[in-house]
Amino acid sequence: MNFDLTEDQRALVDTVEKFAASVIARRTDPSSTEAMATGTIDRWQEMAELGLAGLMIAEDDGGLGLTMAETLLICEALGQSLVQPPFISYAVIAPKLIETSSSTDVRTACLQGIAGGSIRIAMARDESILDFDQSQLNSRVEDDGGTLRLSGTKELVIDGVTATHFIVTAQLAETGPNAFLVAAGQPGLSITPLRGLGGGLIARLSFDAVEAVALFEGNDAPVKVGRAIDHGIVAFCGEALGLMNRMLALTAGYLKTRHQFGKAIGSFQALQHRFADMVVAAEQSRSATYMAAAALAEEDAPTRRQDVSAAKSLVCRHGRAVLEAAIQLHGAIGITDEYELSRYLRRMLEIEKTWGDAIYHEDRFSAELMSRT
């Protein structure tokens, strides 16, 4: 196997790192929800102009036609600098689902718009706030004389506040669960912005007979939604790798410069061992993430789901361990709001709680394993 980057990939990483640096240089403390949302949309437009919004979209549909390998590189670079654009929602999960839609019109219209940055689609699937198992689906769609109308509530919609459209899962009377495209700004749709653990915005959506378009004709919507979200999960693992990189760099620096008892604290064996644990956890996370990225290409869904769950559960566990070790090695400075470490911890927790935490994915892993026997 060859894990070296090609020249194009290196150039891509360079582009993203420059973008992230410019975002950090311009960062201001957002005063209001509106200001935060406007800032996010502006930054997303900049990413689209760099071609990043259409990274995974086929060249015929206006994208770059690149793969999960490039997506991981981007996510890692973004994670490292803790710039959190809605990349995974808008440029990974949404196009991965839309490209499988049975409607040619939806495919053509959306994919071009996504690549250009004008269409920003957030995935609205979750209804339970206490369980990551979201198989209970209460949102419903009624056929109102040829127009589909969706009603229900969706919780914790990542990047929902700045979306132009939503992909909403709901039960369609008679045919069962499906996914629907719903444009924001319609009557009957209300969006409540919530402050996220990591400082960003999350949406709570309420639909009252809102016009919707079905994405699929058959009954395989849950499978397709699951596949698109699996792409997102692996991308989040990639972002977590970036967070861990930054923690290693920050902690290594601190161990060398902080002096106690007349020497650098990095000269104490107990702390060296804790640092070594961080390195091991980060490397194992990287291996698991690469494995899951390879598994996304699998036609066999149980194999794919198994590897993706293995990666997400491992990365959640190890990611938290790396962050906690970084705090311990930094001492009290590590638990101040002002120091960057605390923001990385909150982001790691957000990643854990997005599309399933370690416990959920361990259960899913074992369920897939058992379905084999």
Partner 1 sequence: MIGPVLQHFGTAEQKQRYLPGIPTLRDWWCQGYSEPSSGSDLASLRTKAVRKGDRYIVNGQKIWTTWAHWANYMFCLVRTSDHGRPQEGITFLLMEMDLPGITVRPIRSLDGAHDVNEVFLEDVEVPCENIVLGENQGWTVAKFLLNAERTEIAGLGQSKRLLQFAVRMLDRMTEQGVSPDRLRALRVRLDRIRIDLKAHEWTLMRVIAAQPGDPRAPSASILKLCGTDLLERLSALLMDMGGPAGLAYDPLARGGESDAAPPYGHVLNGTAATYLEFRKSGLVGGTTEIQKNLIYRETVHLWGAG
Site residues, partner 1 (CB under 8 A): 126, 128-133, 136, 155-156, 192, 194-197, 202, 204, 259-262, 265, 268, 270-271, 320, 324, 327-328, 331-332, 334-338, 342, 345-346, 349-350, 353-354, 357-360, 362-363
Nearest CA among 108, 122, 201, 107 for reference residue 169: 122
CB of 269 to partner 1, least distance (A): 10
CB of 48 to partner 1, least distance (A): 26
Closest to partner 1 by CB, 217 vs 340, is 340
Contact in structure between 148 and 211 (CB atoms under 8 Å): yes
Q: Which two tokens stand for residue 348?
A: 């790691």
Q: Which two tokens stand for residue 144?
A: 């109102």
Nearest CA among 355, 88, 85, 123 for reference residue 235: 88
Nearest CA among 135, 63, 56 for reference residue 97: 56
Q: Running DSSP on this structure, what letter comes out for residue 88?
A: I
Contact in structure between 371 and 304 (CB atoms under 8 Å): no
CB of 229 to partner 1, least distance (A): 14
CB of 132 to partner 1, least distance (A): 6
CB of 364 to partner 1, least distance (A): 9
Closest to partner 1 by CB, 273 vs 372, is 273
Closest to partner 1 by CB, 51 vs 226, is 226
Closest to partner 1 by CB, 21 vs 359, is 359
Paired with 172 in beta bridges are: 141, 176
Closest to partner 1 by CB, 249 vs 335, is 335
Closest to partner 1 by CB, 117 vs 356, is 356
CB of 223 to partner 1, least distance (A): 20
Query: Per-residue DSSP letters for 279-306?
Result: HHHHHHHHHHHHHHHHHTT-S-HHHHHH
